[in-house]
Amino acid sequence: MPHIRIFAAVLIAALPVANAWGTLGHETVAFIAQDCMAAHTVSWAQGVLDNTSTSYLAGIAAWADTYRYTAAGTFSAPFHFIDAEDSPPSSCSVDYDRDCGAKGCVVSAIANYTQRVVSTTLSNTEVNYALRFLVHFVGDIHQPLHDEALEIGGNDIDVTFAGASTNLHHIWDTEIPEKFVGGYSLSDAKAWAQTLNTATKSGIYASQVASWTKGLDVTDPVTTALDWASEANAYVCSTVMPNGQAAVEDVDLSGAYYASAISVVELQIARAGVRLAAYLDAIAKNQKVLTKRLVQDDVDMSGADLLPDTRPLSKAKLVREAVGYGCKH
């Protein structure tokens, strides 16, 4: 992965956005994490971001979706997904060697920005950007269609939602969460996060939340991120298109389909927030150890060493490359 170049924030703010989970989802994930993080992690993250506001993570959670459309940020477009070349609905799986492309993927990106965020040789801006990317990509990897190659992660599966033409990927990113919450403002995200945090502490998720961070290991971020991707990808078979592509194509999905999907959307948002907090806690707690390893192992900070061996581009990856690694609206 190329080193991040500084780009004027004022220009970034003016560019179009294609948000995985939508801004609402990403901000909700970040607010959940803010509530769950240890005090020392909060101080560390606020220092890296130079931001002590009440939305220090939530305010930057969707930044990566804007940055990817800048001249400086185009290199990061492939980092928002991993194209699982499986066969839903009969078989869902993620294979790192098969599915992570030569230009990187969300799994390799999480791994690389884990090492970049603790670097003492990168600039403050580069470390700041590394944390921004981590916050965003942990959200991305929990959206099932960000772990699927079929029809560009559902972008080429035309559907309708409440009578409006859209695509399958977009309704999972945006329409389903926004219909459930009833809005998409920062305050809406904060309220949803509070509801989900209550569910993790004393509600429907309380008995399972400890299992969500089992095996989390910032010293082996590829395995950790791959586990998350595989878990999310399984929902492509069970929930996103359990009866195949034809069953959802050109169908209005705002009724029974929405009702069956929303519980998975909520669960994945909650998992992403809890895991983001635990992951950042582990980075902050082990920062000195992680930094020492970078020096001892002479780590390539571009992330190239984290990628699978290069192989010819598959048809799915050629299609993804042809559309510029973006999402449809």
Using alpha carbons only, give the angle 267, 229, 257 rounded to the nearest 5 degrees. Answer: 45
Instruction: Evaluate the omega torsion of the peptide bond into residue 144 and state whether it is cis, within 30 degrees of 0.
Output: no
Q: Is residue 327 in some structural domain?
A: no
Residue 3 forms part of a structural domain: no
Closest CA relative to residue 51, chosen from 168, 111, 119, 131: 131
Residue 113 in any domain: the answer is yes
The helix (H) or strand (E) run that includes residue 169 is helix 168-170
Q: Tens digits of per-residue pLDDT, 202-253?
A: 999 999 999 999 999 999 999 999 999 999 999 999 999 999 999 999 999 9
| Helix, strand, coil share of the chain (percent; to 5) | 60, 5, 40
What is the per-residue pLDDT for 312? Answer: 86
Q: How many domains does the chain have?
A: 1
> Does residue 1 belong to any structural domain of this protein?
no
CB atoms within 10 A of CB 291: 15
State the catalytic residues.
Answer: 21, 26, 65, 68, 80, 136, 140, 146, 169, 173
Residue 4 inside a domain? The answer is no
The DSSP secondary structure of 258-282, one letter per residue, reads HHHHHHHHHHHHHHHHHHHHHHHHH
Assigned domain for 328 exists: no
The CATH number that applies at residue 28 is 1.10.575.10
Is this model's pTM higher than 0.85 or not? Answer: yes
pLDDT in the model for residue 94? 99
**Residue 134 resides in a domain:** yes
Range of the domain at 292: 9-322
Confidence check: pLDDT of 3 > 60:
no
8 A C-beta contact, residue 250 and residue 160:
yes
306, part of any domain = yes
pLDDT at 296: 87
Q: Greater confidence, 80 or 9?
A: 80
Q: What is the pLDDT of residues 15-68, one digit of tens each?
A: 333 456 899 999 999 999 999 999 999 999 999 999 999 999 999 999 999 999
Q: Treating both helix axes as pointing N-terminal to C-terminal, what angle do 39-49 and 256-285 enclose, rounded to 10 degrees?
A: 90
